[in-house]
Amino acid sequence: MLTSRLSQWLDAFERERNRERGELARLLHDEAGGKLTAAGIELTLLRMDAPPALNARLDALEQALESAFTSVRAASLSVAPDLAERISLAEALARMAEAAGRRYNGTLALSVNTEYCPDSDTARSLLRIAESLLGYLTVEAGATMVDLEVDAGPVMRVRANTQIARAQSSPRLGLTVAQYWAAKTNLRFLFGKAPEGSTIFLITR
C-alpha cells in the first residue's frame, strides 16, 4: 500500500519524467526531424537536376538519409509520453520489450493479445507497469528469465525466476512505480512466490 506522501512524490516523479521525455521527443522532432526533412527536400531537388550518371550515388545518399529518418522517428516515438495512445498497446509493449532486451542478457518473452485495445488511461498504465516491472526484475532483482503476458480484461501476468524475498530486500523503485500506476488506474497488483523459486505478478481489474 502506498502512503500518501509516497504517492505525492511519485506524482511529481512521473510528471517530471513525462516532461523530460516530452521535451526529448520534441527536440528530436524539431531539431533532428526538421533538418533531415530539409535535407530530404534538397536531395529531391538535386535529383531533378542531376545527370543520370549520378543516380546510383543519389540512391545511396537517399538510403542513408532514410535510415537516419527511421532512427530519429523511432527514438522520438519511443520517448513520447503518449506512446501507447499513438500506436497500439501491443506495438508499444513490443517496442519496449525490444529495447529492454537489447540491454538484458537473460531471456525475455512477451505475449500480447493484439486484439485487446484498452482505453488510453489503461493502455498508458499497463505500458508503464510493464516497463517499470521489467526494469525492476531485470536490473534490480537479477531475474534471468522473465515472461510477460497481456490479455483482455485487462490481465497482465509477469513471471520471473527470482525469489520474492530477494525482491523485497533490494531497492524497489521499479516495483513501487508499477504499484503506483496500478493504484492510479484502479488495477489490482498482486505478487507472490511460485514454484521453482520464481515470482508471479498479476495485474488485473
Partner 1 sequence: MQMPCDVLLVEDHRIVRDGVRTMLERAAEFRVVGEVDSGTEAVQFCRKQAPDVVVMDLSLPGLNGMAATEEILRCAPATKIVILSMYEDDKSVIGAIRAGARGFVLKKASLGDLVDALRAVAKGGSYLSPQVSDKLLSRIQRGDMETAKLPDTLDVLSPRELQVLRLVAEGKTSKDIAVVLNLGLQTVRSYRKTMMKKLGVNNVASLTHLAMASGLTPHSAPAMRETATAE
Binding site for partner 1 (CB under 8 A): 15, 18-19, 21-22, 26, 29-30, 33-45, 47-48, 62-63, 65-66, 69, 72-73, 76-77, 81-82, 85-88, 114-115, 117, 119-121
Return the bridge partners of 189, or none.
Answer: 203
Least Å from the CB of residue 147 to partner 1: 24
Nearer to partner 1, 18 or 170 (CB): 18
Q: Please give the Cα distance from 7 to 66 (Å, whole number).
A: 43
Nearer to partner 1, 76 or 161 (CB): 76
Least Å from the CB of residue 113 to partner 1: 11
Nearer to partner 1, 14 or 147 (CB): 14
Least Å from the CB of residue 7 to partner 1: 17
Residue written as grid cell 484498452: 118
Least Å from the CB of residue 86 to partner 1: 4
Least Å from the CB of residue 56 to partner 1: 15
Nearer to partner 1, 107 or 120 (CB): 120
What amino acid is encoded at 171 in this protein?
A: P
Nearer to partner 1, 36 or 200 (CB): 36
Q: From the centroid of its chain, how far is CA 3?
A: 27
